[in-house]
Amino acid sequence: MTLVEVLVAAALMAVGVIAMISVFDSSRGLVTTSEKNDVTAHQGEAALERVLALDYGSIALTAAPSHATTSTDPDYYVQPGGGYQWDQSESPKPADPLVVDGPNGAVAHVSTWSDGQSRLSGSVYRYVTWIDDPDIPGTQDAKRVTIAVTVNNTATGGTGELKKPVLVSSVVIDPSSG
């Protein structure tokens, strides 16, 4: 083999190694994003189960949340008039009125969470809104509980960043409404 052939072979090998390293780095970012989605979904489901285990009368916020100006903040969907827009799709439904009962409510609006390994942490935002079931006479006969879970992106150096919070929601029907 001549020196030119050796240099060409080395250049081709270097390009292949660089491409493989790039693939591994991209894969690491995707795995990190998947892990964050999985952990935040579990945090949201656990928070939702804790709220659903409460007595129906206690499923109310202890204080009203305020509107945030940043669209990545879950409180961005809190309306100034005391409503919460739980549907955050491209064509969202109107906001529902928040259920706030300071003395009797048992649902704190925000708390923090951690995975216990100092790798991932974030916040859990809870919202309770009134909804009207058209099959039941009267209004405010059911409550929608929506949990939004965020993750801090500094623990892993910002790789695999979640751009939006993970949302979990359920409807609770008033047992006395029949």
Handedness of CA 67, 69, 71, 73 (dihedral sign): negative
Q: Per residue in 103-145, pLDDT tens?
A: 999 999 999 998 877 788 899 999 999 988 777 777 777 899 9
Q: Average pLDDT, stretch 92-101?
A: 87
Q: What is the pTM of this model?
A: 0.80
> Mean pLDDT over residues 65-91, rounded?
86
pLDDT band of residue 156 (cuts 50, 70, 90) is very low
What is the distance between the alpha carbons of residues 24 and 33, in angstroms, rounded to a whole number?
14
**Rounded mean pLDDT of the chain?**
86
Residue 157 has pLDDT above 60, yes or no: no
Q: How many domains does the chain have?
A: 1
- Quickly state the pLDDT bin for 160 (edges 50, 70, 90): low
Predicted local confidence at residue 10, as pLDDT: 93
**Domain boundaries, position 121:** 3-177
